[in-house]
Amino acid sequence: NAGVTQTPKFRVLKTGQSMTLLCAQDMNHEYMYWYRQDPGMGLRLIHYSVGEGTTAKGEVPDGYNVSRLKKQNFLLGLESAAPSQTSVYFCASREGVGEQFFGPGTRLTVL
């Protein structure tokens, strides 16, 4: 099992550009999450999904959109990137009651 994988690992964008981060999990988990982590800070929840075709807002959803068309994939989109979105983005998945499994992260820089 690969667990939770994230694509890409690194990305540099210019202000106003758009991009999509892909999260994939092979554990057949129902719940998936997108977090961001700024330097010296804890993780903050952006959006989450409780099942295929469902999404919900987390703590800091502004400027991001998500989609869960397939159970194993959770996409995070930035329509018009801003320097304030420079961060490390982590995806996680979970099944029912229990721990969250995290991916390796995507380091995004917006110039």
Residues of the shown chain interacting with other proteins in the complex, contacts defined by CB under 8 A: 4, 31, 33, 35, 40-45, 48-50, 56, 58-59, 90, 92, 94, 96-105
Copy the structure tokens of residue 54. 């469902």
3-state secondary structure of 2: coil
Residue 98 phi, psi (nearest 5): 145, -170
Min dist CB 89 to other proteins, Å, is 10
Min dist CB 109 to other proteins, Å, is 15
Nearer to other proteins, 1 or 40 (CB): 40
Min dist CB 42 to other proteins, Å, is 4
The radius of gyration computed from the CA coordinates of the chain, to the nearest angstrom, equals 13
Nearer to other proteins, 19 or 43 (CB): 43
Nearer to other proteins, 67 or 102 (CB): 102
CA atoms within 13 A on the CB side of 75: 11
Contact between 100 and 92 under an 8 Å Cβ cutoff? The reply is yes
